[in-house]
């Protein structure tokens, strides 16, 4: 767990890429089920995560996704993508198309900056 407040919590995805998941604390199945305060906080945090990733990692693109097919608890994936990562430009859930070694700044440092902005 990277961060938690009254509405959401942020967890790191197990990946070599900078990748976090923002969960609602209450197990809403769909975004439309969220109360206004939770939904507002979810989007506020999503934008803070995105901006912080852009500044800290300078990625080619930020990917934002919400599926919840395996975990029917409202959450949003936020991933920094790089044109030479193993799957780019395809989805990280798709077929790996190359080997790569990215020399990225430390995720713990990113987390500290992120938490200070939340």
pLDDT of residue 69: 80
Q: What percent of the chain has pLDDT over 90?
A: 92
**Token reading at 36:** 């206004």
pLDDT of residue 117: 98
Task: Kindly give, in sequence order, each residue whose CB lies less than 8 Å from that of residue 102, ignoring residues fewer than 6 positions away.
Answer: 16, 17, 82, 84, 85
Mean pLDDT in residue range 41-45: 98
pLDDT of residue 25: 98
Q: Is the dihedral of CA 21, 22, 25, 30 positive or negative?
A: negative
pLDDT digits over 61-118, tens only? Answer: 999 999 878 878 999 999 999 999 999 999 998 899 999 999 999 999 999 999 999 9
């Amino acid at each position: 767990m990277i961060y938690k407040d009254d509405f959401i919590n942020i967890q790191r995805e197990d990946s070599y890429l900078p990748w976090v998941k923002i969960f609602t604390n209450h197990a809403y199945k769909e975004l439309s089920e969220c109360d206004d305060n939770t939904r507002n906080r979810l989007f506020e945090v999503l934008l803070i995560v995105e901006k912080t990733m852009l500044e800290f990692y300078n990625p080619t693109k930020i990917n934002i996704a919400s599926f919840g097919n395996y975990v029917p608890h409202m959450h949003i994936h936020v991933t920094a993508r790089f044109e030479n990562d193993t799957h780019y430009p395809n989805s990280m859930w798709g077929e790996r198309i190359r080997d790569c070694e990215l020399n990225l700044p430390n995720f713990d440092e990113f987390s500290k900056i992120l938490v200070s902005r939340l």
